[in-house]
């Protein structure tokens, strides 16, 4: 018995899969979620420019949860406020410096 024939490189457009028709260089929406707590180089989904993101930190749920746990453990003399001074517990919002569009948000938890 002979092995099955190899597929030819000339595949009609109707038989191409979605991944074959994607434009090279464009980011998949899932790739935007990998932005961390620091500025990163990425392609803006709004203006399609490759940019280094601007970051803005805000208080998030992680800070309030840590404050609550410190209070429960007995750290009520001001020690429960320590999580509000920890940068790694902050939410980081990434935006495009060109068009100011929101790209992604990094949550520490």
pLDDT tens column, 52-92: 999 999 998 888 998 888 888 887 777 888 888 888 889 99
The residues that bridge with 52 in the sheet, in sequence order, are 41
Residue 70's pLDDT is: 86
- pLDDT bracket for residue 96 (50, 70, 90): very high
Query: pTM of this prediction?
Result: 0.61
Task: Compute the average pLDDT of residues 98-105.
Answer: 90
**Domain range summary for the chain, segments of one domain joined by +:** 38-106
Residue 48's pLDDT is: 86
Spatial separation of the C-alpha atoms in residues 94 and 35, rounded to whole Å: 8
Residues 6+ away with beta carbon under 8 Å from 59: 84, 90, 91
């Amino acid at each position: 018995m002979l092995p099955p024939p190899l597929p030819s490189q000339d595949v009609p457009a109707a038989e191409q899969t979605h991944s074959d028709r994607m434009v090279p260089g464009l980011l998949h929406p899932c790739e935007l979620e990998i932005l961390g707590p620091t500025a990163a180089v990425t392609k803006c989904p709004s203006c399609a420019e490759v940019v280094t993101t601007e970051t803005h930190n805000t208080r998030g749920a992680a800070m309030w949860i840590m404050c609550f746990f410190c209070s429960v453990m007995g750290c009520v003399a001001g020690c429960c406020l320590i999580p509000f001074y920890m940068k790694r517990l902050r939410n980081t919002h990434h935006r495009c410096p060109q068009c100011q569009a929101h790209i992604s948000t990094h949550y520490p938890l």
